[in-house]
Amino acid sequence: MSDNGALLSVKDLSVHFFTSEGIVRAVQGVGFSIKRGQTFALVGESGCGKSTTAISIMRLLPKPQGKIVGGQIIFEGQNLLSLSERRMRRIRGNRIAMIFQEQTTSLNPVYTIGNQIAEAIKLHQKTGGKEAWAAAVETLQKAGIPDPAWRAWQYPYELSGGMQQRAMIAMAVSCRPALLIADEPTTALDVTIQAQILELLDEIQKQIEMSILLITHNLAIVAERAERVAVMYASRIVEIADAKRIFAEPLHPYTRGLVESLPRMGFPGKRLHTIPGAVPAQLHLTTGCKFHPRCSIGGRDKRCQTTEPELKEIKPGRWVACWYAPEYKTS
């Protein structure tokens, strides 16, 4: 993958967790790139390594157990993995920001939301108390919170779930980051609030030309909001494509299974499609293609059982890791 002006370029990233029961290879050889202003979705089931990938970009892995064991993360021309902790801190919140799944627990309960947002601003922009507070109120307003001057004095527990999520978004975008990593931003919200939050992210994105790395297992929001999609399975990326193409023409059997599993309107009484089997436990991964035990095509194929297919770019912008994908040359 070449850089050519990409904002973020992840190359061959591998992350291991060293536990008392063995080494968990949570992320293996993951690579993708995100352009400026683009919304890039990383999809997969629980445990496939997408959240770990996101956290690794910010270098927020839990200290003794988690380690980035290989690869590069090129952001705005720098390899983040070679930066000192000090310089990394200047990037966190400032150039790259993150919002989390559980909004209730992501805000410090003993500080007002205005205070927390102002803290983020003060850290990166060297402004005084009053200026930072004013900027915090302004950010709250941009996040769609009504009466922000008053709300800024409230504590997290005084806000509803949707408001808390908006507050967290406000905190994340307060310093106008170039990249926002959204880790399951809507999973813990009701459907109506979900739509609002996605709208909000859209607006903010347009305003400050921000890229979004959207981590989710909800294909519906991927279809609606993402421009590029990468599908992860058992610690590896199996397919990357433009959002429109991936739904119309999924190339990897797993992606195909996911797309076909989406319930469709207009077919009452039809059975829902499922992918047989379950995601393998991290410690007991099979040889060969990680998906082959559940694959209708490669289930009994010798090659699929023994050799792991690499992620290859079969067409410009179209990547797949499957021996049986069309035009997948075994070179």
Partner 1 sequence: MERKAAVASLAVIAAYFALAGFIHIAEAFDWQIGPTLWRQQAGESYSPPGADNIFGTDIFGQSVLRKTLYGAKISITVALLASLISIAIGVPLGAIGGYFRGFVDEIIVWIYSTLSSVPYILLILAFAVVLRDRSIFGHKLTGITAVYLAIGLTSWVGICRLIRGEVIKHKNREYILAAISYGCSRRRIIFRHLLPNVFHLVIIDFSLRFVSFIHAEVILSFLGLGEANRPSWGAMINDARTELSRGVWWQMAAATAAIFVISLALNIFGDALRDSFDPKLRTRVERGS
Q: Are strands 179-183 and 66-75 parallel, antiparallel or unpaired?
A: unpaired
Nearest CA among 231, 225, 224 for reference residue 257: 231
Name the token pair of 187.
């999973």
Q: Shortest approach of partner 1 to residue 282 CB, angstroms?
A: 20
Contacts of 91 by beta carbon, 8 Å cutoff, 6+ apart = 75, 80, 83
Q: Shortest approach of partner 1 to residue 108 CB, angstroms?
A: 5
- Number of residues in the chain: 331
Q: Under rule CB under 8 A, which residues in 40-79 are in contact with partner 1?
A: 58, 60, 62, 64
Nearest CA among 275, 272, 245, 270 for reference residue 258: 275
Pick the closer one to partner 1 by CB: 127 or 286. 127
Q: Shortest approach of partner 1 to residue 102 CB, angstroms?
A: 6
Q: Shortest approach of partner 1 to residue 187 CB, angstroms?
A: 14
Name the token pair of 80.
């983040």
Q: Under rule CB under 8 A, which residues in 13-32 are in contact with partner 1?
A: none
Q: Under rule CB under 8 A, which residues in 139-168 are in contact with partner 1?
A: 168
Question: Distance between CA atoms of 108 and 292, rounded to whole angstroms?
Answer: 44
Among 16, 25, 92, 142, binds partner 1 (CB under 8 A): 92
Q: Under rule CB under 8 A, which residues in 266-325 are in contact with partner 1?
A: none
Name the token pair of 331.
């070179």
Q: Shortest approach of partner 1 to residue 114 CB, angstroms?
A: 15
Q: Shortest approach of partner 1 to residue 120 CB, angstroms?
A: 4
Q: Does 94 bind partner 1 (CB under 8 A)?
A: yes
Name the token pair of 258.
């996911």
Confirm if 1 and 33 have CB atoms less than 8 A apart.
yes
Pick the closer one to partner 1 by CB: 94 or 286. 94
Q: Under rule CB under 8 A, which residues in 165-224 are in contact with partner 1?
A: 168, 171-172, 175
Name the token pair of 131.
């200026």
Pick the closer one to partner 1 by CB: 87 or 244. 87
Confirm if 305 and 320 have CB atoms less than 8 A apart.
no
Size of the site for partner 1 (CB under 8 A): 29
Q: Which residues bind partner 1 (CB under 8 A)?
A: 58, 60, 62, 64, 89-94, 97-98, 100, 102, 105-111, 119-120, 123-124, 168, 171-172, 175
